[in-house]
Amino acid sequence: MSNWRDHGPVTDEDLVAYLDGMLEDELAEYVEGEVRSDRDLNARLELLRRGERPFEEAYDLLLHEAPQKRLKQILKLAKEPPPKPAEETEMERPAARTAGMAAGARREPWAGWRMLAAAAVLIAVFAGGLYSSRLIQVPGQKQQAAGDSWSKKGWRAAVAEYQSLFITQTLQSAGGDEQEQASSMRVVSNYLGIDLTADKVSVAPLELKRADVLKFAGKPLVQVAYLANGKTPVSFCIIKGKRKPHELAQEQRLGLNIVYWDTDDFGFMVIGDVPKDQLDEIARKLRRQVS
């Protein structure tokens, strides 16, 4: 095996192959060793790793583990309880059985309506998990709900649904020093084919937290995430692909304000629960800085 040092440093393609399990054991061990010894390389690996979030598979696994057969049996018994055994006279019962039946008679039975309610609740919980797994998805995954896909609704709708899940705590612990931010921006720049730096994507009153590489409808998508005034999640997103250029425009989706614009090769949007005029000012600054 030739040493990769003879041909240059470990690339993002090498890291993706490692994450996909496509490398032979020796090469995988080599990459792991390089990641342990190189802080920038480790940051790039973690950034690429965050680009794949298998939410749907997790929900499907939960549903697979659900005791559906047992729940259905409980529901059936609650609706159609078995008939009571014929009563025997005291003389027909053996002494031991008489004592057992007397003890059972002192126990309060679980009423049929209670069984029905419990079974219905449990079934609803697992059914709800399945329904949620089909609705809550990340950019690039196909929507499983009845004939309505993210690719049909467009990338801004997909980002809005994803952004609506963010809360302050989602980003509060994110972020890093200048070296980590610089490394992250190199990864997203290479991924999109556009020159981005931490300075170019920084704008007040937003605090830069992290950048993620994603994919939507087969197109590279990058999300730069911030907290506005230390509490409100805001994202600056860029998608690569031929487009019809247009100037800044505003819209609202899922209660979130959006400012977006397009160039020949990229689509841009800024989204967050901040006032329209403030978001417009932020978008105009970012547009000047990344152009």
Neighbours of 99 (CB within 10 A): 11
In a shared domain, residues 119 and 193: no
In a shared domain, residues 159 and 131: no
| pLDDT grade for 72, boundaries at 50, 70 and 90 | low
In a shared domain, residues 161 and 126: no
Residue 26 included in any domain: no
Contact 145, 139 (CB under 8 A): no
In a shared domain, residues 120 and 161: no
Of 100, 135, 170, the position where a domain reaches its end is 135
- Whole-prediction pTM value? 0.54
Which tens digits make up the pLDDT trace of 109-133?
A: 444 545 555 555 444 544 444 444 4
Return mean pLDDT, the chain: 75
Residue 22 included in any domain: no
Confidence check: pLDDT of 168 > 50: yes
In a shared domain, residues 125 and 240: no
Residue 175 sits at φ, ψ, to 5 deg, of: 105, 165
Of 135, 163, 193, the position where a domain reaches its end is 135
Cα torsion angle, 224, 227, 171, 135, sign: negative
112-135 and 68-79 are packed helices; what angle lies between their axes, rounded to 10 degrees? 140
Residue 42 included in any domain: no
In a shared domain, residues 127 and 170: no
Task: Specify the number of domains making up the chain.
Answer: 2
Of 51, 74, 162, 189, nearest to 123 by C-alpha is 74
Confidence check: pLDDT of 252 > 60: yes
In a shared domain, residues 63 and 166: no
Residue 141 included in any domain: no
pLDDT given at position 240: 95
Residue 14 included in any domain: no
| pLDDT grade for 195, boundaries at 50, 70 and 90 | very high
Of 135, 164, 194, the position where a domain reaches its end is 135
112-135 and 55-65 are packed helices; what angle lies between their axes, rounded to 10 degrees? 160
In a shared domain, residues 117 and 245: no
In a shared domain, residues 118 and 175: no
Exposure string for 48-76, b = 16+ CB within 10 A, e = fewer: beebebeebeebeeeeeebeeeebeebbe
| pLDDT grade for 70, boundaries at 50, 70 and 90 | low
Residue 17 included in any domain: no
Residue 251 included in any domain: yes
**Domain membership of residue 62 as a residue range:** 55-135
In a shared domain, residues 176 and 253: yes
Confidence check: pLDDT of 71 > 90: no
In a shared domain, residues 171 and 242: yes
Domain containing residue 247: CATH number? 3.30.200.100
Which tens digits make up the pLDDT trace of 261-291?
A: 999 999 999 999 999 999 999 999 999 999 8
DSSP code string of 268-284: EEEEESS-HHHHHHHHH
Residue 41 included in any domain: no
In a shared domain, residues 86 and 159: no
